Structure 1
Amino acid sequence: MTTPLPRVSRRIGAIAESATLKVDSKAKALQAQGRPVISFAAGEPDFATPEHIVEAAASATHDPKNHRYTPAVGLPDLREAIAAKTLRDSGLEVGINQIIVTNGGKQAVYQAFATLLDPGDEVLLPAPYWTTYPEAIKLAGGVPVEVFAGSDQDYLVTVEQLKAARTDRTKVLLFVSPSNPTGAVYSAEQTTAIGEWAEANGLWVITDEIYQNLTYASLDEPVGSPGARAPSIVEAVPALADRTILVNGVAKTYAMTGWRVGWMVGPVDAIKAAANLQSHLSSNVSNVSQRAAIAALTGPQDTVETMRQAFDRRRRTIVTELNKIDGIVCPTPEGAFYVYPDVTGLLGKTWGGVTPTTSLELADLILDQAEVAAVPGEAFGPSGYLRLSYALGDANLLEGVQRLQRLFA
């Protein structure tokens, strides 16, 4: 008798569920049951999309040209706007033939790995990492090689660590600054050192810059002070431009997570190959969303600054309040809208009759006893950490942290 083939492919069956979305869904389900859960899980701004962007989309719905297929790589006007942003914020001059508009940054991440990797190629993956990166690497046939930097390093990997992890199979370095989940930002000197090492070793670089406009000053400066810039690796090391794919999007900076507009920027040959993939995978992004993205990138930026200042205020509150808890060490993030406290000091102790030994168990305890949702460190690398997003209202943020203070008093 013939052995039945698996109903689902091994490749797809091996994909881990997104831990961040899983925790957020669980929190929302409990909220729907009437429980007063405060969720720090979701990685999206709590603000509405700025009105001028919404108006541009509404107007676009009435134009019949937006009711049809358009180029799979994106509207020329949007790619021109992306080129201008890339020059302004990443210091790289590109033509629109070096740009593909994607269904959110997540598709851009997947396509970047799929374009570069052959089976067995290794990717240096600084950890803690966004939960999707290793899954996208494996889907593309690659092998993620984790390079971990803990809270004692402010979650920033060093050239020495990368050297130790590199093998003859290493093809790509993933570089993310500011970081999800830690909010860590590499300095100009650190970025240059890593970029020069990658260039000297002939590596490709995929750099995720989706949080590049959300950076903050040190805590001893006034709230809302201009943030420490997160330099692009191609600006720090221009020679890398021919082997770098930049991933970005409007989701985080413009509170447009649901509009699903991201992009890839890179060398012509790599972008042409990725365009061939996208032409079969998804074709063009919604034209209405693309028109909204044009308005976001080319319109007034005052609402962006208002949101950045609100995130800065919340960042200061959550760092200060978390560090009041004995057993928690919370480095101050310089970018994005996450904190990544080291909670190893809480493990192995009994809280409310429960003795958690991992951050996964600790997150379950916190949700059950404090009705606060946080994502455990296992989603992003080693255990012993929690990710909390401070992209939620000030009152809920403070109440949520105070619940933790009472739980761990």
Structure 2
Amino acid sequence: MTQDAPTTRRALLTRMGLAAGLAYATPTLIGTGTARASDASAPSGRASVSRPARQRRRRAPARPEMVVILAPGQSLQPLQAAGYDVLSQRDNATLARRAARLRLPPGRNPAQARAEIARLLPGSTAALNSLYRPDDLTCDGADCAAQQMIGWRPADLQARPRIGMIDTGVNPDHPALRGQSLRVNQVDLDGRNAAGRRHGTAVAALLIGNAQGRAPGLLPRADLIAVEAFHSRADGAAADAFSLLNALDVLIQARVQVINMSFSGPANPVLRQVVVEARDAGIGLVAAAGNGGPGAAPAFPAAWPEVIAVTAVDADRAPYRQAARGPHVALAAPGVNLWTAASIEGGRLRSGTSYAAPFVSAALALGMARDGLSATDARDRLFRCAADLGAPGRDPVFGHGMVASPSACPEAGSQILSVSGE
């Protein structure tokens, strides 16, 4: 592990408020099923014994799940009679409907299930219980100065908006979050193990991290309501549509001004219903564009028009190499080599559109809480005041350009940033 800069430079950066840290390498995953010692490692003179490879018993694939929004007065009994397992069901206050998570009967595929549910429960809405993933990566590289990149001012730190976030676990005892206005809720994961706290703690610290810490949050005086909606799987942390449906309901009922969603996955009509309800309630919605790369299909919820899709750029304002692109990308923000809080204490450098999204969430919340703008007006001002990057005007790589603090907006008399074309 090497230090990128001499001590004098690091001290200067610290005095300037710049984030600094060491480079971390991503661990390499090694399959153990076929691992064998090499011939050279065997003790000399010992006979070589050849044994047949053990045949691993493959698990039967898990049956798909559906998430269903029932019409008023409907019962799940017809589906249970048809062989569907009811894994969980809850009233959704936002939709004023009951939502259920179901396991399909053996031999039934999702398309068949949708048709069957529509026949048995007319007026209901059903979709695959899709999975959504955090958009982050461990990274290496030099120091960055993220808040300076977007023209964040000391006065901006004083705003007190109410922000919501949906993420993995959050550690309220991390030094960056201890003493901050943070409320952590966890949706019922139906007996599944909760995901770890690394990703959620990092995102929370970017939003409201202690102003005296190594990397202060953008809005250290804000009220943050974090909803833990992710469970642990063999292939990493994930949240299904049913959990996200419930998490959004919690935040809508809490009357937050902005919801940060640093995750991505497939389109889902059931989840979209609640996203539309959140927009109609006057809540600003921000999501990571995704880390699938330039050729990836649009990821959701970022690609829905109700949501501001955020991509990541580095300290030179170059696009993050793994960021998704497309006409839905709305704004760019720092998201490469950011010093973020670790799960227990300290921090590490990370990259991803997950970490760019909080910059836009903070700027949007600042416009709403301090300047009294609606979510739509605050969003439109961010679009007008973004520093144009790449091709003139809005483009599929950077959207309208680099997000700017409302305090640094040309509309407020500042000449720091140029306005992007529309």
Shorter-chain TM-score above 0.5: no
Point out the structure with the larger helix share: 1
Q: Relative contact order (C-alpha < 8 Å, sep 6+): which is higher?
A: 1
